[in-house]
Chains A and B, each alone.
Chain A
Amino acid sequence: ELKVEQNPLFLSMQEGKNYTIYCNYSTTSDRLYWYRQDPGKSLESLFVLLSNGAVKQEGRLMASLDTKARLSTLHITAAVHDLSATYFCAVAEVGNYKLTFGKGTLLTVNP
């Protein structure tokens, strides 16, 4: 059974600081996703990572994937208040449509 662990689950940071959210998973995967969820809203797709060493960047967010370590990171650079949200990673087993989600990281960026 695929297990996905995110940490930290709660992250409070100051504007301008850098931080990293980690996503570990337990079995071989060919796709890893990062989603953002604002309070009371649905999930918004941020990144899809398909291969070992994949790196994608959008604004102050950068995601990477190490399939050998079964680890993905979401790095936040110079955080701003607008980044406050819950971030989820989700992993799919090879050739499988089913996604297994981590429990999410609630990020609060304080002025």
Chain B
Amino acid sequence: DVKVTQSSRYLVKRTGEKVFLECVQDMDHENMFWYRQDPGLGLRLIYFSYDVKMKEKGDIPEGYSVSREKKERFSLILESASTNQTSMYLCASGTSLPQETQYFGPGTRLLVL
């Protein structure tokens, strides 16, 4: 079974803090993704990575950065957390095209005070 794990299920941070969200996958997938999920807005892609040290912006990259130093690990960084970044963050990893399927982690619910 594919396993995607995220470092925390719940996180509370203060405005202005630097926040690291970690994601690890155990299936040797090339592709990894970070989404945020908000009520009424669905899932929106923040960043994705198709190889080590490679990244591409998604739909809402502002206020976020990512790091992928090893194939199995993809980190999302909130440089200076703000209250509008309170959300559920979902990491996914995926197989290659053409039958690419994304497998999701359990999610991190982040509250920024």
Contact = CB atoms under 8 A, between A and B. Distances in A.
Interface in A81-98: 88, 90, 92, 95, 97-98
Interface stretch (A21-29, A55-63, A65-73, A99-107): A99-107
B48 A97 contact: yes
Interface string A38-53: 0001111100101000
Nearest to B48: A97
B42 A45 contact: no
A103 B42 CA distance: 4
B contact residues, range: 20 to 34
Dominant secondary structure of chain A at its interface with chain B = strand
Given A42-B107, A45-B103, A98 B42 contact: no
Contact of B45 (A30, A99, A103): A99
A42 B41 contact: no
Given A88-B43, A101-B44, 12 more contacts: A30-B98, A33-B102, A43-B43, A43-B92, A45-B103, A48-B101, A95-B97, A97-B48, A98-B48, A101-B42, A102-B42, A103-B40
